[in-house]
Structure 1
Amino acid sequence: MFSNPRNELRVSQAWETLLSGGELPSGAVRTLVDQSWQRCAQAQVDPLRRRGALPVSEQDLYLLHERQKDLLEAAAPVMACARDYLAETGMLMALSDAHGTILVTEGDHPALDAAQAIALVPGVTWSEVACGTNAIGTALAAQRPAQIHATEHFCAGIQGWTCSAALVRHPLDGELLGSLDVSGLSATYHRQSLAFVINTASRIEARLAMVEMERRYRLLDHALGRWSADGQDAMVLFDRRGCPIKASAHAQRAIEALGGGLDLTGQQRVPSLRAGRWRRGTLPAGLPAWLRGEWLEPLVVRGEQLGTLLVLPGRSSGGAHGARGAARAAPMGEVTTLVPRVAAGFESVLTRDPAMRALLDKARVLAASQAPVLLQGETGAGKEAFARGLHGGRGGAFVALNCGGLSRELLASELFGYAEGAFTGARKGGMVGKIEAAEGGTLFLDELGELPLDMQPQLLRVLEQGTLYRLGETEPRQVRFRLVAATHRDLRQEVAAGRFRMDLYYRIAVTRLQLPPLRDRRQDISLLAAAFLQRFRSEQGQAVETLSDEVLAVLEGHAWPGNVRELRNVIEAAVLMRAEGPLRPIDLGLDELREPAADPHRAASVDRGDSLAEGEEAQISRIIAGCGGNLTLAARRLGIAKSTLYAKMRRYGLRRASGSASH
């Protein structure tokens, strides 16, 4: 994969042999370079070429930028960071489209000036056919990252340069969008340039995913009213790229009845439905034979076409297709997501709150994706329930690990596993870590903000390369899993404070869901309390009663610093203490936590202060004091494990109330 500057002379001799018509000695050049040289020779590329071709006109470059607007917007902040990184390194970064035409460049000013000599500038196409073997063109031709150094270039005029390039693909369907290249004069060669450009390209893809998912959310919000408003039972919603993202219950069968071959459970696109290629009053070019233009409706929000709605002929439409539609018996408006095996799983999330329902709609869309998801919210807000919902029924296991409350050594072994004899006391035969255990499934890392800073690069490598090393092993293991991370911290503030790596944050925060605290979901308190009461009464074999108005008033008047988990624990404890008869307000044990002048606005301001950590510290201190230093009770009221409470107390330097010896 990597170039070796020590081989320049041997590679140069092989190049001359190739030009003279001779056969290259076995192993004279890397396979990647050998195959590229052969393609260049077949395409009759001039090996004496000194520079790239003339750039396109300013008008054509402007039009090219307009067509690649999404890619450029996603890349802009990432390349701005790269510009700072490449300052005074003698290197530049170039972003190209899928044909190898450079869109923009950033980097060290002397490098940008030197690039003018070989036309490594915006508007110039650096495909292999145009410029011979080079990182941009070779990466695109070989469909893999490429590092090309000095004499490995096919054209003589470019052999004074070194370059590394990675592909940029659309994160939702894998479409090739272009390449990202880092180049400089040959003296600037660095083996790690390839890793740097691969990582930077993945950050661009992550930003593209965030933008596309936000567009999909807006599209769903705009289209959801149509499912019940229309009198049809076979509908498909396509995003702006022509990918199906939602379908009514029997849409698949309706398409098959029409002779269509569109698989709604996969990532198959209908390219002719891509936004910008058609509009209302015109028919998209290249429609499949089974699909009629009159069944399509472009969905435009504020002048932007976000997608397309396909309404297939149903029972009421009559005609030739009406008989086919009569075979469908599903209720009108019944809707399923396109990957039903992962769409389910949110049944445990009970809510009447509109904001929470909207969040669930977004989560159901994400359940069909492999993109990493970051769940943010206070402790006990239900992040694990959302994580299990995102896992749904996909293959593989759901594996959870709380990164808080564990020592660094124990966390490393739990996460990565270890080999036999890796350390004193290591289990015979070693141990499989949580990452490996999640193979083909979902890894849920709770309290990710607690992950030690020096361990974060190891997790980033696993996410970027799909490989891990068990502790004590030197052989990599391939892993494939979907990551769902959760934290009560604002990771952007943690990044700014130097406690969390920026590159890891952008890798895990491809999509984010902010879970509201229970105090902002007041109408859900009675719903959740009744559900917990039914669950725990049934487990104890007791009769289930209806909660009295007095009990509900106490529950709804509580601030719930421990959120849903605290509510669950309070109801469970009350059921255990009150085995017979309906629950009474005194059974809840909430009076001991009330402050002298309880003010929900004050409580909210503490919890939502300038720093989440400061709010948490104040909350924990207040609860410990209210429990008289009893940490077991405090942990239960906070809805966290006692080991987690100990870890947080150590972090904030908190102590139990003086004079108390009870844990």
Structure 2
Amino acid sequence: MVENFYGVYRKVWYEWNRYLNTSTISGQIIRPEILKSWERCKNIGVNPYQRQGQEIIEGSALKEARERQEELIRAAQPIMEKLLALCGSLGFLAVLVGEDGYILEILGNYQETIDMARRINFIPGACWREDKVGTNGIGTALVLGQALEITGAEHFCCGLHSWTCAGSPIFGPEGQPIGIIDLSGPWYRENKQALATVVVAAVAIENNLRQNRAQKETMIYRQLTKHFLENNSDPLLVVDRTGRLVRANCASEKVLGCKIEDLIGRRVEEIFGNPQEILSLIEGRQSIKGKEILVQGRKGVLRCRADLSPVTGDYNESVAALIALKLPDSSQFYMSSPLTLQGFEHILGNHPRLRESIRLAYIAARSDAPVLILGETGTGKELFARSIHEASGRKGPFVAINCGALPRELVGSELFGYVGGAFTGARPEGKPGKFEQAQGGTLFLDEIGEMPPDIQVYLLRVLEEKKVVRLGGHKEIPLDVRVIAATNSDLPKLVREKKFREDLYFRLGVFTIHLCPLRERKSDIPLLFEHFVRKVSQKLGKNITYIDPSIWPLLEKYDWPGNVRELRNVAEWAVNLAEGNTVSPGHLPPYLSDSRTPHEDSCCSSFSSVTLAELERQEIRRLLEYYGGNITKVAKALGIARSTLYRKLYKYGLRTRWGVSK
């Protein structure tokens, strides 16, 4: 076994040497993720003959880095001690690395390994990112966002060939990567359980982080109870160090225009006009009086003054800040329309689940990673995709394609393009596909669950290699395209049924955003309905200025299988029927405005008494009635492809009952 172990090491070294000289490998011994890492290192100019870490922070800079990530260090410390107890006698070091790739802590009790580490500058303060020291279990795990083990000559730099290392990302309570936990030791000290061990350790650290946060929030509530029980007339907000609102008092409701339960969990970007300044003040742990800030008020953006008081933890670290708003008496301090996250201005609603989806989408917009948007028909998946594109700052176009709307044989040519003569009927000059059309921008793949299996294979390759080859061609075209996919299908179920590739599912779902149906955020219905009524009345040249309040109970009790799209259609129906300046219950569609109870009208059955399939069937039936059986219009109203609608008609036995037209 030892001979085989050394034999594998030699084979990997020969492949490494071959790659440096020819940029090729000869066999399958090099894993794809290692080869891609070598390619990245070579492309950015990492020196393969580098023998030690080059970038090191020391003294006050290291102290500042450790203080900034003290929460992570404290959560990891007991887990690292357990790792050392398990693996220290085997010659391994337990290593904690921050999100920026700098080593924060190293624990070890095997002197030979400690000396080896010092010789290559594998010490606290050293930067171990892939772009600094090449392929390694820490830096490459940071790049990939997944656990990885690197041994011997799999390292790009020869100075690390005598090491083996297994690293796993640590994710914060909000789901963002915040560091790496790693086991490193001499390459010949084989530890088959190293990778599994660090994965379990990362989960344990994440659990510690969540528990520590819960304890801190409990402490915050305990420290601030008196402020909230004294019926303070000033709006009071508590923002934790991550920028999340964790508490507010009743006076805040009146100013911000939201209920307390809807405010809790929001980010500072959604509340203040100068969020970075607010976070800096929290980190600074200073009491500040009369600070001028901008706040999203009920009537618009409010300029006011605020007193900030720090809340510190057991170790005198910054935990949160109490912000007391000092409101001006005059309305002239209202400046402009409400604050919104740039790019997401058109997404309306204050429900916490919607705001959380917007927050995740805003985070996703700042990276180039693929995004998967999951939600029922009519929940606004394309609107979210467009918003992510607008917020990303990408200069190229937003290109959308409905994967279920095209015949199977055309999906490939539409996505990837083709060269002249690629197939019968092809243009002589060829045609660029959607990927090329979206160069520098975003490609939105709607109804990704409808994509044929053979196209899924090609799509996965394009996503991995960031290159496309037109059908019938050989030339590789480099791509700079952000991919956003969406579906109302149950993708995990399709994966289990082997109808959707598991590797493609995970590749697309780097950021997965779930959009809740309208029936689960009914508090947003008045805001949305008023918006749609206003837009439609402007479009039709009408002057609708009043909505009868008796409409709200009717809209509230309905379960909206068509979601926001159906609500918009109802608003359009009502405005068209309204003759004066008022929309009243009589202007609603019959299935909403009649006097029957939900149990007397199947179209209004409560969600608890019917299945989603039955709700969908009812919605399709209603739209068939509304559009006189026109399939194209019904499919457009539902936001699905005609082919998908035909399948649903057969499924629900509706096609034989309707003389449908194309």
Q: Does 1:604 align with 2:628?
A: no
1:345 equivalent in structure 2: 343
1:220 equivalent in structure 2: 244
Check conservation: 1:100, 1:126, Cα contact below 8 A: no
Check conservation: 2:442, 2:481, Cα contact below 8 A: yes
Check conservation: 1:140, 1:167, Cα contact below 8 A: no
Q: Helix, strand or coil for the counterpart of 2:546? A: coil
CA distance 1:647–1:138, change in 2 (3 Å): same
Check conservation: 2:404, 2:641, Cα contact below 8 A: no
1:385 equivalent in structure 2: 383
CA positional deviation for 1:565: 0.9
Q: Helix, strand or coil for the counterpart of 2:485? A: strand
Fraction of identical pairs, as percent: 28
Residues 304-361 of structure 1 show CA distances to partners (whole Å, capped at 9, x for unaligned) of 98976699xx999xxxxxxxxxxxx987999978xxxxx3233333335454345445
1:503 equivalent in structure 2: 503
CA positional deviation for 1:250: 5.0
CA distance 1:587–1:99, change in 2 (3 Å): closer
CA positional deviation for 1:589: 3.8
2:134 equivalent in structure 1: 143
1:658 equivalent in structure 2: 656
Aligned residues: 507
CA positional deviation for 1:174: 9.6
2:489 equivalent in structure 1: 489
**TM-score, normalization by structure 1:** 0.54
CA distance 1:399–1:605, change in 2 (3 Å): farther
Q: Helix, strand or coil for the counterpart of 1:460? A: helix
Residues 421-458 of structure 1 show CA distances to partners (whole Å, capped at 9, x for unaligned) of 33333345433333333333333332222233333343
Q: Please give the alpha-carbon distance, in whole angstroms, between the structure 2 residues aligned to 1:567 and 1:96.
A: 51
Q: Please give the alpha-carbon distance, in whole angstroms, between the structure 2 residues aligned to 1:357 and 1:619.
A: 29
Deviates more, 1:355-364 or 1:434-443: 355-364
Q: Please give the alpha-carbon distance, in whole angstroms, between the structure 2 residues aligned to 1:126 and 1:456.
A: 44
CA positional deviation for 1:464: 3.4
CA positional deviation for 1:488: 1.9
2:648 equivalent in structure 1: 649
Pairs within 5 Å for 1:326-345 = 343-345=341-343
Residues 625-651 of structure 1 show CA distances to partners (whole Å, capped at 9, x for unaligned) of 87799254982696335615435438x
**Please, what is the CA RMSD of the aligned residues?**
6.6
Q: Helix, strand or coil for the counterpart of 2:486? A: strand
> Unaligned stretches of 5+ in structure 1?
16-29, 43-63, 74-93, 105-118, 132-136, 186-196, 232-242, 256-263, 282-293, 317-328, 338-342
Pairs within 5 Å for 1:441-480 = 441-480=441-480
Check conservation: 2:13, 2:153, Cα contact below 8 A: no
Residues 167-194 of structure 1 show CA distances to partners (whole Å, capped at 9, x for unaligned) of 979999999858899x999xxxxxxxxx
Q: Please give the alpha-carbon distance, in whole angstroms, between the structure 2 residues aligned to 1:441 and 1:224.
A: 40
Pick 1 or 2: higher relative contact order, CA cutoff 8 A, min separation 6.
1
Q: Please give the alpha-carbon distance, in whole angstroms, between the structure 2 residues aligned to 1:384 and 1:408.
A: 22
Check conservation: 1:36, 1:138, Cα contact below 8 A: no
CA distance 1:303–1:661, change in 2 (3 Å): farther
Q: Does 1:395 align with 2:394?
A: yes
Q: Please give the alpha-carbon distance, in whole angstroms, between the structure 2 residues aligned to 1:458 and 1:4.
A: 34
1:516 equivalent in structure 2: 516
Q: Please give the alpha-carbon distance, in whole angstroms, between the structure 2 residues aligned to 1:473 and 1:331.
A: 60
Q: Please give the alpha-carbon distance, in whole angstroms, between the structure 2 residues aligned to 1:607 and 1:165.
A: 50
CA distance 1:348–1:490, change in 2 (3 Å): same
CA distance 1:657–1:410, change in 2 (3 Å): closer
CA positional deviation for 1:380: 0.5
Pairs within 5 Å for 1:124-523 = 129=120, 142-144=133-135, 177=180, 219-222=243-246, 248-250=272-274, 297=310, 343-351=341-349, 353-393=351-391, 394-396=393-395, 397-523=397-523
CA positional deviation for 1:379: 0.4
Deviates more, 1:561-570 or 1:529-538: 529-538
Q: 2:658 is matched by which residue type in structure 1? A: S
Q: Please give the alpha-carbon distance, in whole angstroms, between the structure 1 residues aligned to 2:473 and 2:166.
A: 30
Residues 281-317 of structure 1 show CA distances to partners (whole Å, capped at 9, x for unaligned) of 9xxxxxxxxxxxx9994677x9998976699xx999x
2:146 equivalent in structure 1: none
Residues 91-150 of structure 1 show CA distances to partners (whole Å, capped at 9, x for unaligned) of xxx99966899999xxxxxxxxxxxxxx99xx997899499xxxxx99675435799769
Check conservation: 1:248, 1:335, Cα contact below 8 A: no
Check conservation: 2:351, 2:523, Cα contact below 8 A: yes
Q: Helix, strand or coil for the counterpart of 1:513? A: strand
> Unaligned stretches of 5+ in structure 2?
1-8, 22-38, 55-69, 80-93, 123-127, 141-149, 189-194, 214-239, 256-266, 288-306
**TM-score, normalization by structure 2:** 0.54
Q: Please give the alpha-carbon distance, in whole angstroms, between the structure 1 residues aligned to 2:271 and 2:468.
A: 38
Q: 1:649 is matched by which residue type in structure 2? A: K
Check conservation: 2:635, 2:642, Cα contact below 8 A: no
Check conservation: 2:401, 2:444, Cα contact below 8 A: yes
